[in-house]
């Protein structure tokens, strides 16, 4: 029997039971137990999302950690996990497509004046609104990895002019791929819509700050489904208040849930989502997680093991 400790912040026991059922289909000898339970001290693997990592100190048998999402910053922050413990992330085509749908929805809502039409509907105004010419817009996607590359290709397929940025040079058909500091600067200054899908690492924290927003075109749209820590929230708020950033669509924040007294709530040109752009789906992710657990059990390096030097 393989004991796997489970923790997903903010979810119920029903969610754990769903994961247990899906994982046991692929790995019948697995037993999923709560991270905070007494039985967790016998676990060899932990499946985590924003867990209290201090509990891992009591788990002397742990051989590997698996993130319940694409991001692993919630595990790596603070350097609490020994280097000999592999950390594995999920790379799920379903999540990539979900993110692509959300980004496309966010962009279409802006260029087709969805929010303006909703307002007119409430006041019974039957009147066309100005539609932005999508052929003239340049969309910059920051982070064209497993998820971002799918988003960029789908946007291109829909007829948008798409440029993407990554730490190292990539080649993606129909996408102008940029890299390095000069590539980042070019994307900042040339894009009309900015989509952040970066991993969170020390080098990407606060990467969108006053300097970056000032250098974006006046009237740009900023969309963030990466991490809240990518953005200096005060600087974004100032840019939205001044109108330099015409619209922002946010799915992630520095503090989640977003506090009720946060000024974002009162800013009309900032649209807020509760971190749902691409949620992990047990039906599509269970097979690869079960395989990662098997690999860890058998001292094999699992697919999608994180490179600690890169942070993803």
Task: List, for residues 161-198, the tens digit of each pLDDT value.
Answer: 999 999 999 999 999 999 999 999 999 999 999 999 99
Is the model's pLDDT at 70 over the cut of 90? no
Percent of the chain exceeding pLDDT 90 equals 96
Residue 245 CA: distances (Å) to CA of 110, 194, 287: 12, 10, 42
Fold of 96-272: Rossmann fold (3.40.50)
Q: Which residue has the tokens 């840019």?
A: 239
Q: Which residues of 237-275 are buried (b: 16+ CB within 10 A; e: fewer)?
A: bebbeeeebbbbbbbbbeeeebeeebebeeeeebbebeb
Q: What is the mean pLDDT of the chain?
A: 96
The CATH number of 2-92+280-297 is 3.40.50.720
pLDDT in tens, 239-292: 999 999 999 999 999 999 999 999 999 999 999 999 999 999 999 999 999 999
What pLDDT digit, counting tens, does each position of 2-15 carry? 999 999 998 999 99
Residue intervals of the chain classified under CATH 3.40.50.720 are 2-92+280-297, 96-272
- Token pair 């820590």 is at which residue? 229
Please answer whether residues 76 and 87 qualify as being in contact, where contact means their C-beta atoms are separated by less than 8 angstroms: yes
Q: How far apart are the first and last CA of the chain?
A: 30
Catalytic residues: 227, 275
% of the chain surpassing 70 pLDDT? 100
pLDDT tens digits, residue range 13-53?
A: 999 999 999 999 999 999 999 999 999 999 999 999 999 99
pTM of the model: 0.94
The DSSP H or E segment spanning 279 is none
> Is pLDDT of 58 > 90?
no
Residue range 285-309: average pLDDT?
A: 96
27 and 293 in contact (C-beta within 8 Å)?
A: yes
Give residue 78's pLDDT. 86
pLDDT tens readout for residues 206-235: 999 999 999 999 999 999 999 999 999 999
């Amino acid at each position: 029997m393989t004991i796997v400790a489970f923790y997903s912040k903010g979810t119920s026991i029903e969610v754990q039971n769903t994961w247990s059922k899906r994982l046991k289909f692929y790995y019948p000898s697995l037993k999923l137990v709560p991270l905070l339970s007494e039985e967790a001290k016998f676990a060899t693997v932990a499946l985590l999302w924003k867990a209290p990592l201090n509990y891992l100190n009591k788990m002397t048998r742990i051989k590997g950690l698996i993130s319940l999402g694409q991001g692993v910053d919630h595990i790596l922050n603070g350097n609490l996990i020994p280097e000999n413990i592999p950390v594995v992330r999920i790379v799920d085509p379903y999540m990539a497509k979900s993110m692509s749908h959300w980004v496309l929805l966010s962009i279409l809502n802006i260029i087709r004046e969805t929010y303006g039409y909703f307002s007119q509907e409430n006041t019974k105004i039957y009147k066309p609104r100005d539609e932005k010419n999508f052929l003239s817009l340049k969309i910059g996607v920051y982070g064209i990895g497993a998820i971002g590359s799918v988003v960029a290709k789908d946007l291109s397929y829909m007829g948008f002019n798409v440029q993407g940025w990554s730490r190292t040079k990539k080649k993606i058909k129909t996408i102008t791929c940029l890299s390095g500091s000069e590539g980042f600067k070019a994307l900042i200054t040339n894009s009309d819509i900015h989509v952040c899908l970066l991993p969170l690492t020390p080098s990407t924290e606060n990467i969108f700050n006053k300097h970056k927003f000032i250098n974006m075109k006046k009237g740009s749209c900023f969309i963030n489904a990466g991490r809240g820590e990518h953005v200096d929230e005060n600087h974004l708020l100032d840019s939205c208040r001044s109108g330099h950033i015409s619209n922002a669509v946010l799915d992630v924040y520095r503090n989640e849930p977003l506090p009720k007294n946060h000024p974002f709530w009162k800013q009309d040109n900032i649209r807020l989502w509760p971190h749902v752009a691409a949620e992990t789906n047990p039906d599509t992710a269970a097979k690869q997680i079960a395989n990662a657990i098997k690999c860890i059990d058998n001292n094999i390096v699992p697919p999608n093991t994180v490179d600690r030097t890169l942070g993803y």
